[in-house]
Structure 1
């Protein structure tokens, strides 16, 4: 592996080493906005694969891989940003089988996997790859301390096949020489104190409560004006405006009205590489306590 300045640098290094102008890259639709921006910077032709509550639709993903023969496939299998979706165990195994059969690089971005509320999610693609012959040769895994310890430390990592890792190491030397020794030492010392697991237990309980309150508040205050899946971990709600009874159906327009009420969210359109669903939006419960969540949703209701 290579230590990176946050997992965002890991994604940038993959873009630098793998993508040439015109190369095709498949991502989830929707997916992490910064990844779309990063891969486009290197000239990628980005193709969206649809998702549902169980993550990416593997049948359609397989068809897209066969049709486009992409340079890579980028996935957030666990508590996705922005979707909150978690890829099922069966779908994870199929994706690894497809990667090995088609010789397609799968990039697994896993910053949220430890932020489950009750039941742990299925094992990562990295963990499962030992059981799928040949798949490890076509898998890159990005991780980070940003969501589980401190965003400001900017310590992440990239695990990848040797050839890709060697190129990434060279590119990293050109950009920043190395990730801060001080922040690496802080993380290392924290881990040796065995503080991470107790901290994660508190974070999981806190986030679970905030997610529960947000769901209850949305149902109570917005009713049939909004639809969403209840997340089982992570930091986000992915919701869709219904337009019921003349209520808003365009998230960008609704965002302007919400700001007038003193509350903000992210409209969903930027999370799509193409053909955005204009009714979608992302809500985060990570940094707001229960009282602020209830007040924020009440302000959303006033913006309807």
Structure 2
């Protein structure tokens, strides 16, 4: 069966395991039928572009945000509007102003360990984002490929997990997850959780895109998750990335001093540094890179 075509929605045992995986992270009331397996989380974003965006539509994104997202949504004709962020994520007051002004088709956020900002949306702001979604009936797309890679204290619950606390917000929310950063990028497996009507349209688009994500990869991951191996794997990954992040930040401070400023990441893969204009003495000519 693992060598055969599969359902476009995804291999059922994997959908069940992913539902349990999300439940362990506080997402209650989720059924496998509310989830579609995608070929990486980027396919989920592409499906959103196909199903939601028409030329000239406004889409609000964080500034800065994931480059591939910018390219994807622009490909379908979206006009992107940038919402400012700080160390606690998107500035919610400004976000509401932009929603009222532009009436976007949706708002795209990476609330936890943002790419490339490294910022994490605070718990208070997460609840306010959900309240804004209900108030203005605006779709919020939560991209969460890095949320399990925290250093030390866990981040606030996902918007999806918090949606139970804000009545009506689940109907205004899309959640995209991925195994690329936590298990294996080569499996190319992610998932999307969305309101039923939108999910049905996304499945239809996926049928013409790739018929189904690799059944063999899905069966492999389903067995891996069923065997309970993910928890130990995540512990190892967190330790490795925490060490790398500390080395990165120490190197930036040592080499560039007050010539740059950045938020010390609490998880994820990214540090976003800004030039301050200070005439600090650069100690090393080495070019630093992400990770």
What is the TM-score when the length of structure 2 is the normalising length?
0.85
Q: Secondary structure at the match of 1:179?
A: coil
Query: CA separation in 1, counterparts of 2:136 and 2:114?
Result: 25
1:92 aligns with 2:126: yes
Query: CA separation in 2, counterparts of 1:198 and 1:30?
Result: 32
Shift in Å, 1:212: 1.2
Look up the match of 1:56.
90
Q: What is the number of equivalent residue pairs in this alignment?
A: 256
Q: Secondary structure at the match of 1:245?
A: coil
* Alignment deviations for residues 187-213 of structure 1 (CA, whole Å, 9 cap, x no partner): 111111211110110111111111112
Partner of residue 23 from structure 1, selected from 15, 37, 57: 57
Partner of residue 173 from structure 1, selected from 207, 211, 227: 207
* Structure 1: tracts of 5 or more residues without a match: 249-256, 266-282, 286-304
Partner of residue 106 from structure 1, selected from 140, 158, 169: 140
Look up the match of 1:76.
110
Structure 2 matches for 1:238-253, cutoff 5 A?
Answer: 238-245=272-279
Shift in Å, 1:246: 7.9
Query: CA separation in 2, counterparts of 1:129 and 1:50?
Result: 23
Partner of residue 236 from structure 2, selected from 176, 199, 202: 202
Shift in Å, 1:243: 3.2
Query: CA separation in 2, counterparts of 1:127 and 1:16?
Result: 26
Partner of residue 258 from structure 2, selected from 224, 230, 248: 224
Structure 2 matches for 1:39-54, cutoff 5 A?
Answer: 39-54=73-88
Q: Is the 8 A contact 2:257 2:281 kept in 1?
A: no
Query: CA separation in 1, counterparts of 2:137 and 2:62?
Result: 19
Structure 2 matches for 1:269-288, cutoff 5 A?
Answer: 283-285=289-291
* Alignment deviations for residues 145-186 of structure 1 (CA, whole Å, 9 cap, x no partner): 001001110000000000100000000001100000011011
Q: Secondary structure at the match of 2:271?
A: strand
Q: Which has the higher contact order (CA 8 A, sep 6+)?
A: 2
Look up the match of 2:45.
11
Look up the match of 1:115.
149
Shift in Å, 1:247: 7.4
Look up the match of 1:236.
270
What is the TM-score when the length of structure 1 is the normalising length?
0.82
Query: CA separation in 1, counterparts of 2:162 and 2:279?
Result: 47
* Structure 2: tracts of 5 or more residues without a match: 1-34
Superposed CA RMSD: 1.5
Q: Secondary structure at the match of 1:244?
A: coil
Query: CA separation in 1, counterparts of 2:49 and 2:169?
Result: 21
Partner of residue 38 from structure 1, selected from 61, 65, 72: 72
Query: CA separation in 1, counterparts of 2:279 and 2:62?
Result: 31
